[in-house]
Amino acid sequence: MELKWLEDFVSLAETRSFSRSAELRHVTQPAFSRRIQALEAWLGTELIDRSVYPTRLTNAGQVFYEQALAMLSQFHEARTLLRGHTTTPAATIEFAVPHTLSLTYFPRWLQRIEAKLGSIHTRLRALNVHDAVLSLVEGGCDLVMGYHHPSHPVALDPARYDMLTLGIEPISPFSAATRAGRPRYMLPGTADAPAPYLSYTPNAYLGRMTEVIFANAPSRVYLDRVYETDMAEGLKAMALAGHGIAFLPHSAVEDSVAEGHLIRLDRAARGTTGGQFTLTMEIRLYRDKLAAQGDDARHEVARALWDVVTGELAQDSQT
C-alpha cells in the first residue's frame, strides 16, 4: 500500500467527488480513480458506493476512514519526530526538482544565487514534474523548480502558491554526428525508412512535450521507436552512441553540441530558439505562501532566497 492512496481516500471521503479530489490531489480523474481502486484491491473490499450520487462510503469505507486518519496522523508524527533528531542543519532548504533540471539548470542557478546570498544548505529531491509538485502540496519541500507549458500547465492555485518564472528551456531533436560532421539521422523520415526514435515513457513530462511537438509539426514525422526511458540523460547517452534521434532540453546538450558530438535537426534562425520541431517551456519556481510564513531559521533563509530571485528577475526585466 502507498501513503498517497490513504491521502486520496481521505480526500474523497471528505469531498464526495472524484473530480474535485483529483483536482485537489493534482492528478487526472482517471489516475485518481485507479489509485482508489488499487487501495480497494489491496484491502480486498469496496470502500466507495458507486451506485449513488453524490459519492458515498460503504460501511467498510466508513470504518476504514477512521483508520486512515489515524494512520496518516501517525505517519506525520513519525516524520516530525525523526526530523527533530536529524543531524541536518536547521536552515536546510528542501528543493523538489525534475531530474533533468537537477543535473543541468539547478547547479548553475544555485551558484548564482549563493553569489548574492552566501552559502546555503540545501537538500534536493530529484523527482518527475508531477511528484515534485505533489511534494510541495503535501509539505515535503520548501521550493519546487519545474517546467511549465500551456498545453500541460501545473495546476497550483495562485491564491495559495507563489510562482516566479526563472527562464526558458527549449526542447529540440538531436542526432549524433558522423565523422564528416553531419547528422547521422534526419527528420521527418519516410514511411519506407522511418528514423530511429529514442523516446520518453508516456508518463514523463518531456514525453508529453514531444507529443505536442508532433501534433504541431508542419508535416508528418515518420519514426521507429527503438528505445524508451523517462530520463533525458538516458536518451542523451543513447543519442551520443548513435542509436537514434532524441528530443532533448538544450541545457542538457549544450556541451555536446559545442563539441560537435550532437547536431540539432531543426536549425533555428540566428538569435532565436524556434524551429519546426522545437518547443519552448518555462522554468518556474513555486512556494507555498502559508508555509513560507514560518518563523524558524529554515523559513527565514527560504524567504531571503525568494527575495533575491525576485530582485534578480526585476532587474533583468529593466535591462
The answer on pLDDT for 89 being more than 70 is no
* Beta-strand runs (E) in 55-130: 56-57, 93-98, 122-127
Verify that 98 and 67 share a domain, yes or no. no
Pair (81, 98) in one structural domain: no
Residues 41, 134 within the same domain: no
Q: Taking residues 182-209, report their average pLDDT.
A: 93
- pLDDT grade for 319, boundaries at 50, 70 and 90: low
Residue 17's pLDDT band (cuts 50, 70, 90): confident
Q: Same domain, yes or no, for 223 and 306?
A: yes
Contact 114, 70 (CB under 8 A): no
Average pLDDT (96-108) is 92
Same domain, 272 and 125: yes
In terms of domains, do 79 and 98 share one? Answer: no
Judge if 182 and 301 occupy the same domain. yes
Residue 57, domain CATH: 1.10.10.10
Q: What domain range is 170 assigned to?
A: 92-319
pTM: 0.71
Mean pLDDT over 148-171 rounds to 92
> Which three cell numbers mark 171?
526542447
Considering the domain architecture, whether residues 132 and 248 belong to the same structural domain is answered as yes
Is pLDDT at 88 greater than 60 in this prediction? no
Domain check: are 24 and 102 in the same one?
no
Label residue 286 left, alpha or beta by phi (over 0 means left) and psi (-120 to 50 means alpha). beta
Residues 221 and 214: beta-carbon distance below 8 Å: yes
| Dist CA 174 CA 184 (whole Å) | 10
Give the lowest-confidence range in 30-44, 127-141, 145-159: 127-141
**Do 12 and 129 sit in the same domain of this protein?**
no
Work out the pLDDT band at 134, boundaries 50, 70, 90: confident
> How many structural domains comprise the chain?
2
Question: What is the average per-residue pLDDT within 295-307?
Answer: 91
Beta strands in the chain (DSSP E): 48-49, 56-57, 93-98, 122-127, 143-148, 161-176, 195-200, 223-229, 245-249, 262-264, 279-288
In this structure, are 282 and 172 located in the same domain?
yes
For the chain, what percent of residues have pLDDT higher than 70?
Answer: 93
Q: pLDDT tens for residues 34-57?
A: 899 989 989 989 999 877 667 889
Dump pLDDT digits (tens) for 109-122.
Answer: 999 999 999 999 99
